[in-house]
Structure 1
Amino acid sequence: MTMNDRILRLRGRISESALDGIILTDLPSIRYFTGFTGSSATVFISAEELVVTTDGRYETQIRVELTAAGLVNSDYKLVIGSISDQIKAISQAVAKGARIALDPNSTTWGFVNILQEFLSQKAELLPQENLGAQLRRSKDKAELAQLQMAAQIADEALKRLIGQLKVGVSERDFAHNLDEEMYLLGSSEPSFATIVASGENSAMPHAHPSSRRFKAGDMVVVDFGATYEGYHSDMTRTFVLGEPTEEQTKVYMATKEAQALAISVVKEGVPAGSPDNTAREYLDSLGLSEYFSHPIGHGVGLEIHESPILHGSNLSPLISGEVVTIEPGVYIEGKFGVRIEDMVLVEKDGCTLITAFDQSWIV
Structure 2
Amino acid sequence: MPVFSNAEMARRIAGLRDKLVTEKIDFAFLHTADSVFYLSGIPLLSEWGRPMWAILPASGQSAVCGAAIEKENMEFHSAFDEVLAYGDDENVVQASLELCANFIARHSTGKVRLGIEEALLPVGIHRALQGRFPNADLIEIGPAIEELRLVKSDEELRILDLGGQLAKVGANAFLEALHENVTELAVAAHAVAEVNRAMGALSTNGLTSTYAYAQFGDHTMTPHLHPTSRRLKRGDLVALNVFPVMWGYCTELERTFVFGEPSAAQRKPLDAVNEAFDAIKLALKPGRAMSDMAQMERDIFRRCELDQYVRHGTGHALGIMIGAGGREEKGELRIYNPRKLVSNMVHSVEPAVYIPGVGGFRHSDVMVITNDGARNTTDFPRDI
Normalising by structure 1, what TM-score? 0.89
| 2-structure distance, mates of 1:21, 1:190 | 31
Q: Assess, with a 3 A threshold, how the Cα gap between structure 1 residues 244 and 84 changes in structure 2: closer, same or farther.
A: closer
Q: Paired residue for 1:202?
A: 220
| 1-structure distance, mates of 2:250, 2:327 | 11
Contact 1:203 1:334 in 2 (8 A): no
Residue 269 (1) aligns with residue 282 (2): no
More displaced 10-residue stretch of structure 1: 18-27 or 212-221: 18-27
Q: Paired residue for 1:116?
A: 130
| 2-structure distance, mates of 1:96, 1:259 | 56
* Equivalent residues in 2 for 1:254-265, closer than 5 Å: 254-265=272-283
- What CA RMSD, in Å, does the superposition of the two structures yield over aligned residues? 2.1
Q: Paired residue for 1:31?
A: 37
Contact 1:36 1:62 in 2 (8 A): yes
Q: Paired residue for 1:312?
A: 335
Q: Paired residue for 2:351?
A: 328
Contact 1:91 1:119 in 2 (8 A): no
Residue 350 (1) aligns with residue 369 (2): no
Identity of aligned residues (%): 24
1:43-102 per-position Cα deviation (integer Å, ceiling 9, x unaligned): 122221322222322222212112xxxx4xxx6233223314323234413443432221
Contact 2:265 2:358 in 1 (8 A): no
Kindly state the Cα deviation for residue 318 of structure 1 after the two structures are TM-superposed: 2.3
1:90-129 per-position Cα deviation (integer Å, ceiling 9, x unaligned): 44134434322211233334434444344341x3112333
Normalising by structure 2, what TM-score? 0.85
Q: Paired residue for 1:164?
A: 177
1:139-174 per-position Cα deviation (integer Å, ceiling 9, x unaligned): 111111111111211211221341322221122221
Kindly state the Cα deviation for residue 347 of structure 1 after the two structures are TM-superposed: 2.3
Contact 1:258 1:278 in 2 (8 A): yes
Determine which of 43, 51, 54 is the counterpart of 2:54.
Answer: 43
More displaced 10-residue stretch of structure 1: 290-299 or 182-191: 182-191
Residue 76 (1) aligns with residue 81 (2): yes
Contact 1:200 1:337 in 2 (8 A): yes
Aligned pairs, number? 352
Contact 1:91 1:118 in 2 (8 A): no
| 2-structure distance, mates of 1:115, 1:91 | 13
- Partner AA of 1:48 in structure 2: S
Structure 1 runs of 4+ with >6 Å offset: none
In structure 2, stretches of 5+ residues that fail to align are 1-6, 87-94, 200-205
In structure 1, stretches of 5+ residues that fail to align are none
| 2-structure distance, mates of 1:340, 1:21 | 42
SS at match of 1:299: coil
Q: Assess, with a 3 A threshold, how the Cα gap between structure 1 residues 2 and 64 changes in structure 2: closer, same or farther.
A: same
Contact 1:344 1:353 in 2 (8 A): yes
Q: Paired residue for 1:5?
A: 11
Q: Assess, with a 3 A threshold, how the Cα gap between structure 1 residues 118 and 330 changes in structure 2: closer, same or farther.
A: closer
More displaced 10-residue stretch of structure 1: 108-117 or 315-324: 108-117
